[in-house]
Amino acid sequence: MAVTVLAALFLFALVLTAFFGYKYLGKKTTAPENINNEKCSICRQKFEKKMLIERQIGDYKLLYFCRECIVRLYADLGIKN
Ligand SMILES: [Zn+2]
């Protein structure tokens, strides 16, 4: 009985390792594709970098803004004035 439980545990561990290993590999292969993607700093949606406006704040912080958010900001400014 104990041997069966041990074997089951071992199998379970093996399956888990395979599963996480697969996930890790999957992440690695999709990484190059995501290099050109960046999140908009306002709506947090992912876009291609070329679709975003990039602004440096201070010495190091880079912010990205998508077209929709910029249009919304522009509209907000219009309401104020
Ligand atoms: Zn946005």
Q: Which residue range(s) make up the domain with 29?
A: 1-35
Residues 42 and 80 in one domain: yes
Q: Which residues of the chain have pLDDT under 70?
A: 25-33, 81
* CA 53 to centroid of ligand 1, rounded, Å: 10
Domain total of the chain: 2
Per-residue confidence (pLDDT) for residue 68, from 0 to 100: 96
How far apart CA 62 and CA 64 sit, in angstroms, is 7
Residues 28 and 43 in one domain: no
Residues 75 and 63 in one domain: yes
Residues 40 and 73 in one domain: yes
Per-residue confidence (pLDDT) for residue 21, from 0 to 100: 75
Residues 71 and 44 in one domain: yes
pLDDT tens per residue, range 21-41:
777 766 666 555 678 899 999
Per-residue confidence (pLDDT) for residue 29, from 0 to 100: 60
Per-residue confidence (pLDDT) for residue 12, from 0 to 100: 73
* CA 59 to centroid of ligand 1, rounded, Å: 23
Collect all residues with Cβ–Cβ distance below 8 Å to 73 and sequence separation of at least 6.
42, 65
Count of C-beta atoms within a 10 Å radius of residue 11: 10
* CA 33 to centroid of ligand 1, rounded, Å: 20
